[in-house]
Chains A and B, each alone.
Chain A
Amino acid sequence: MTDNTPQVAVRLTTSPLKQFRDRLAGGELAYQVDEDGRALFYPRVAAPAGYRGELRWATSAGLGTVYATTFISPKGESAYNVALIDMDEGFRLMSRVESIPAEQVRIGLRVRVRIHPAEGDEGPYPVFDPVEAA
């Protein structure tokens, strides 16, 4: 508890989400690490229980592995994938794998991040392509 106090005592001028999206806009998939280098995602104002000390930002090399996968075929639309990706740095995020048919995405597939740019009200977000196809 006391470990986190200095960080949360300071009034923030940018939210964790804004910082994450600003980094995405700059071409980086960012995550946070604690004092021991343990990876954390989604970005937070301070470390949760089980992590140590203050959080700092880090940049992923962008490579990961599909941990779980599903696909959805809305009426009149082509199927799209939804997957959980385990990044090599040790954090997990939801995303989708593109560039191959949604139903061909398999658990264990190696993938590389690509930044989907902001559109209208939606901020930028990370999507993935198979490493071989990228």
Chain B
Amino acid sequence: MNTTLKRGSAAIVGVAESDLGEVAAGMSVIDLMAQGVHRALADCGLALADVDGVFAAAGQSRMPSTALCEYLGLKPRYQDCTMMGGSSFMTHVAHAQAAIELGLCEVAVIAYGSTQRSAGRKNVAPREYNPYETPFRPVLPASAYALAASRHMHLYGTTREQLAQIAVAARQWALLNPVAWEKEPLTVEQVLAARMVSHPLTVRDCCLVTDGGGALVMTSAARAKTLRKPPAFVLGVGESISHQTISNMADLTVTGAARSGAQAYAMAGLKPQDIDVVQVYDAFTITTLLFLEDLGFCPKGEGGRFVSDGAIAPGGRLPVNTNGGGLSYCHPGMYGLFVLMEAVRQLRGECGERQVAGCETAIAHGNGGVLSSQSTVVLGSASTI
């Protein structure tokens, strides 16, 4: 697909969260999507009447694009509810870029909503029965990531303390984000002493369980330049599906991010060392570590040593997950949309205390399932075009 999509042909021009954390009783997934769309349109100065493309995914909605169109009164020319878990939204960006290039739509919204915290996670995310896994009672998804961590620790000597450093860095960034769920500092000792979910991952190695949603607005590069805020141009996209169940992942220490990232870098004409800010889906501490390796920010096996000593925390040598991530900011179940949002805001320079100086390029990497689907978007400011 990268042979046909054009670098910088479309841009993300509007971003907004819906209400986050624990939302008002009775709020629905589509209420949150609609809040996100209205706010994201206001962010870029467009109106519902401009929208002719609708993209949506949600764990709690079987037909989210139709539900959202009914709610907002939209009759789009083009719609897509690609569902591959938390990486769906990066793929929506790629598909929206393709649709915009082809003239199938001009202004696309990409929306997500979840009420998993207020509705109760067991009620909203029933897991499919798998006769080859369910009898063994893995705590999914955590046990799948724990198995990957066991393998990384075995092969490379990665330690629980190094994984904990990732949670601590995320918390330090979250303390700079006024809308982050977590408000208190966190230490390595606290991560290690927290309740064990699936060894070696404690509850502090695991993402939050919150409500939340939001939306992005995308349009053509030409139209993007006429709007209120600096566009985040889509420089490169890539995606990879490697398995569905953890027992069918070929090598638990190498994710599909290696492939999706390579595709996105190739289309963007950039290398890891050209990226100013890194946003990766941190469902678990091990996820951040694997993606830093697979996206080329450190060699395979070096992730544990790489994240030590505050390297990815505020003031460190590589800014990673500057909103506080799924570990400390917000995690409604399919977190990929928020990864993209933070990348856009960093490129715009509107991140306040947590702003990375001189941010012109960003990578936004999404993960779905149990390291199953990987989708990468490289974004750039006008200076990269």
Contacts and interface: CB of A to CB of B under 8 A. Distances in A.
Interface residues of A, number: 26
B246 to A, nearest CB: 7
B139 A72 contact: yes
B145 to A, nearest CB: 9
B135 A122 contact: yes
Interface in B221-255: 245-248, 252
Of listed A41, A82, A116, residue having the most chain B CB within 10 A? A82
A71 interface: yes
B147 A123 contact: no
Interface string A56-97: 000000000001111111000000101110000000111110
Contact of A68 (B139, B147, B245): B147
A125 B135 contact: yes
B198 interface: yes
A107 interface: yes
Given A17-B131, A68-B147, A68-B252, A82 B247 contact: no
Contact of B151 (A68, A95, A116, A122): A68
B246 A84 contact: yes
A71 B198 contact: yes
Contacts of B150: 68-70, 107
Given A82-B138, A122-B135, A103 B199 contact: yes
Interface in B130-167: 131-133, 135-139, 143, 146-148, 150-151, 154
Given A84-B247, A95-B136, A72 B198 contact: yes
Nearest to A67: B151
B131 A69 contact: no
B143 A82 contact: yes
Contacts, number: 70
Contact of B246 (A94, A96, A107, A116): A94
A103 B148 CA distance: 16
B137 A82 contact: yes
Nearest to A69: B150
B47 interface: no
A92 B132 CA distance: 11
Contacts of A92: 247-248
A72 B200 CA distance: 10
A84 B154 CA distance: 14
Contacts of A80: 137
A96 B135 CA distance: 10
Given A80-B137, A92-B247, A103-B199, A70 B132 contact: no
B196 interface: yes
A84 B143 CA distance: 11
A95 B147 CA distance: 12
Interface in B189-203: 196-200
Contacts of B136: 82, 94-96, 125
16 contacts: A42-B132, A67-B252, A68-B150, A70-B143, A70-B147, A72-B138, A72-B143, A82-B136, A82-B137, A82-B143, A83-B147, A92-B247, A93-B247, A107-B151, A123-B131, A125-B131
Interface of B: 131-133, 135-139, 143, 146-148, 150-151, 154, 196-200, 245-248, 252
